[in-house]
Amino acid sequence: MFKCKECGYRTLKWLGKCPECDSWDSFVEEEERYKRKSTTLSDIKPQYLNEIKAKGKERVSTGLLEFDRVIGGGVVIGSIVLVSGEPGIGKSTLLLTISGILSREKKVIFISGEESMSQIRLHAERIGILEDKILILSEMNILAILSCIESENPDIVIIDSVQAVSIPDGNGMPGSVSVVREIASAIIEVAKKKDITIFLVGHITKSGNIAGPKTLEHMVDTVLFMEGDRTHSFRLLRCKKNRFGSTNEVGIFDMDEKGLKEVKNPSLYLISGKQENSSGSVIIPTVEGSRTIMVETQALVIPMRFSYPGRVAQGFNERRLDLLVAVIQKRLNMNMSNYDIFCNIAGGMSVLEPSIDLGVILSIISSLLDKPISDELCVVGEVGLSGEVRGVPYISSRIHEAKRMGFKRIVTPDNAPDENKDINVIKVSNISQAKDICGL
């Protein structure tokens, strides 16, 4: 067999150009695989489900409550966790912080292929974990890494990053699809055999996906994404896949010179910067996992600068902004085609749920008319194409959070409960009513 060094494509004949990944001169001869002795093959028998002995999956707390929350209440011993995110977002900082806390009870090895020993020391000094007993190894060779794991017998291994590790016989570049796949499977094999918990750092590609083969995500137990705007200190940790828990929860951190800190009251953190009496700004209670978080959406509407109207959305889907602007134009009879519209969720937060629709629409109208919306009022609701305001889930907890943060009035869809103390709940069924209530 011949195998492409870049993508792992196999063929019976040598080829000059790989039909899969289009690289030139990438085929090397490979010994035949899957040769097992027939005696070992005949030993393999399936087992009845109820006869299988299951090891209780123990969880350990990482000491960072926000991280534990995302991962489903602590890391499962023996599981493989992949942490990914933009360059410089704080992946190494997060994992160094966690290894500091975990090393107080477990044996932790932090293997870095990206930073030298002294760089890691400076990093650790900055985030204040120097006193903790973490073993550090600056190594890129997979054989050296595996033999270190064999001899040290750690409980937890952190590999920063899987794309930096290389295979010594020169079969492909570090970070290429086939090398990443091989390295991940070697590490996972040793982890499963010795019940070691592994944290892998994964780079991302230009389009925002994890670099390397898609199978990397299938091979690991948990995939976490760290997001945030690098110009802000706010960081979100989202779970994309979890074999041992839900993927709904998010972890919220603040990044400063001392490293990552948990944010205890995200609503206060995100809306405290709101300018009083400013047009184009609306507060919305959003739901992330089991938490309700108040966010501020801001809009800026200006006369069109070029020959077609510009639309920019930060913190939510840009296509959604297009759709909402079309709803304003058609259902409220307001001509939006001569304006550039910029929308932003303040503080670097990103929101995936459509319950921000009504807030986004009102912030656009508020900016267009240059009329501020009262600071005592917040807004929630999904908006349909006919301009109707649709119900949103967890409405009671949204009203509760609005009350807690001191809001006196909240504009909601029809599905809000009737009885509400200390806050005036104003139900609306379409955007025109919501616009009147906000005094626009």
Whether cis (ω within 30° of 0) applies to the bond prior to 99 is: no
Between the CA of residue 318 and those of 311, 314, 356, what are the distances in Å? 8, 8, 13
Length of the chain equals 440
Task: Give yes or no for a contact between 85 and 91, defined as CB atoms under 8 angstroms apart.
Answer: yes
Contact string 199-238 vs ligand ATP (x = CB under 6 A): ----------------------------------------
223-259 burial: b if 16+ Cβ within 10 Å, else e: bbbbbbbeeebbbbbbbeebeebebebbbbbbbeeeb
Q: Report the relative pairing of strands 156-160 and 108-112 from DSSP bridges.
A: parallel
Contacts with ligand ATP in 280-339 (CB under 6 A)? none
Is residue 97 a contact residue for Mg ion (CB under 5 A)? no
55-87 burial: b if 16+ Cβ within 10 Å, else e: eeeebbebebebbbbbbbebbbbbbbbbbbbbe
Instruction: Tell the residue number behind the tokens 């196999």, with chain if given.
Output: 10
Residue 403 has phi, psi (to 5 degrees) of -65, -45
Contact string 50-89 vs Mg ion (x = CB under 5 A): ----------------------------------------
Q: Minimum distance from CB of 112 to Mg ion (Å)?
A: 8
Which region, judged by CB under 6 A, interacts with ligand ATP, from 61-69, 167-175, 251-259, 422-430? 251-259
Is residue 92 a contact residue for Mg ion (CB under 5 A)? yes
Contacts with Mg ion in 196-215 (CB under 5 A)? none
Which residue in the set 62, 79, 84, 92 belongs to the binding site for ligand ATP (CB under 6 A)?
92
Q: Minimum distance from CB of 301 to ligand ATP (Å)?
A: 32
Closer CB to Mg ion, 83 or 156, in the complex: 83
Q: Minimum distance from CB of 259 to ligand ATP (Å)?
A: 8
All residues at 6 or more sequence positions from 162 whose CB lies less than 8 Å from its CB, including other chains: 82, 180, 183, 184, 187, 200, 201, 202, 212, 216
Q: Minimum distance from CB of 145 to ligand ATP (Å)?
A: 17
Please tell me the count of residues contacting ligand ATP according to CB under 6 A: 12
Q: Minimum distance from CB of 206 to Mg ion (Å)?
A: 18
170 binds, among Mg ion, ligand ATP, none (CB under 5 to 8 A by kind): none
Is residue 84 a contact residue for ligand ATP (CB under 6 A)? no
Contacts with ligand ATP in 6-45 (CB under 6 A)? none
Task: Give yes or no for a contact between 226 and 88, defined as CB atoms under 8 angstroms apart.
Answer: no
Contacts with ligand ATP in 93-112 (CB under 6 A)? 93
Residues that bind ligand ATP (CB under 6 A): 85, 87-93, 114, 255-257
